[in-house]
Structure 1
């Protein structure tokens, strides 16, 4: 398959690994109607959480990732699947509303990229001093706050190992 875009090596990352405690955070959690500040620990009270770090809304890899997640039926799990990106709540709201089936998910807004930094998945954008976003990555967090599965891209674009994430969630 011929790619119409350049693949960029991201280099190594020192991200949190399976068996470690997930870094706690509170950020605006957005759905297509509203947003409110929610903590990771608050979500974990209702069950496991799958954190999907993605590029800013509207970027091809973010859209493709969420289409795949939607098509695989991840919204039917007993785990809460939520996104995390540098996009603002307004951008998230529009993203969720414009794409059919995305309204079944919620997205954390992290414009300062602090959550990605805490998880060790920051990607500095080439040629833009001080501008970064999260590298594509997925963390499955058990109800006790332990990382049960961790994956982070080593090149961009790259996409989650969907089958591995599904196996990790099934094993909870």
Structure 2
């Protein structure tokens, strides 16, 4: 029995398969530095798996990135795996180092990107504070959404085998 309650999240109208994913520019962090980058900069180079996650340090973020790291989806594939959360660049740099991740993470403290994608999750008891609902978007070079998974409860995690099958079908 978990030490927390599983909570159903309300229905939302989010970016769907076949939609063009909104472009954005935010700080993109790796283990050494960060710089402003746009999503279209990444998709211009090939398909992108955009992973929205809860703030750094929360157990769902740690669990998701450990699983993604261990599955190595971008190895031997023309695919960029990148994350996005409300955490600031300093916290992202620490997460990348601690998890020994080769992935870059967008920092979006105001949660504007999640708003554009329709996946905002207001945090209970914290007026004006939100984070992205966990979500995965597989985008082609034109930012067309080829696959999408969005959490329906908290906590919720993608079916990693299903994500992998979507990547392999590219």
1:10 aligns with 2:6: no
- Deviating runs (4+, > 3 A) in structure 1? none
Q: Which residue of the partner structure matches residue 148 of structure 2?
A: 150
Counterpart Cα distance in 2 of 1:131 and 1:13: 18
Alpha-carbon displacement from aligned partner over 1:109-158 (angstroms, at most 9, x marks no partner) = 00010110111110000011100000110000001110001110010110
Deviation at 1:75, TM superposition (A): 3.5
> Is 2:23 aligned against 1:24?
yes
Are the aligned partners of 1:16 and 1:120 in contact in 2 as well (CA < 8 Å)?
A: yes
SS of corresponding position for 2:148: strand
The TM-score normalised by the length of structure 1 is 0.95
Matched residue, 1:72: 71
Structure 1 residues without counterparts, runs of 5 or longer: none
Alignment TM-score, normalising by the size of structure 2 = 0.97
- For 1:162 and 1:98, how far apart are their aligned partners in 2? 22
Q: Are the aligned partners of 1:75 and 1:105 in contact in 2 as well (CA < 8 Å)?
A: no
The Cα of 1:42 is off from its aligned counterpart by 0.4
Aligned equivalent of 2:41: 42
Residue of structure 2 equivalent to 1:97: 97
Q: Which residue of 1 aligns with 2:166?
A: 168
Distance 2:68 2:74 in 1: 8
CA distance in structure 1 between the aligned counterparts of 2:19 and 2:71, rounded to whole angstroms: 27
How many residues align structurally?
169
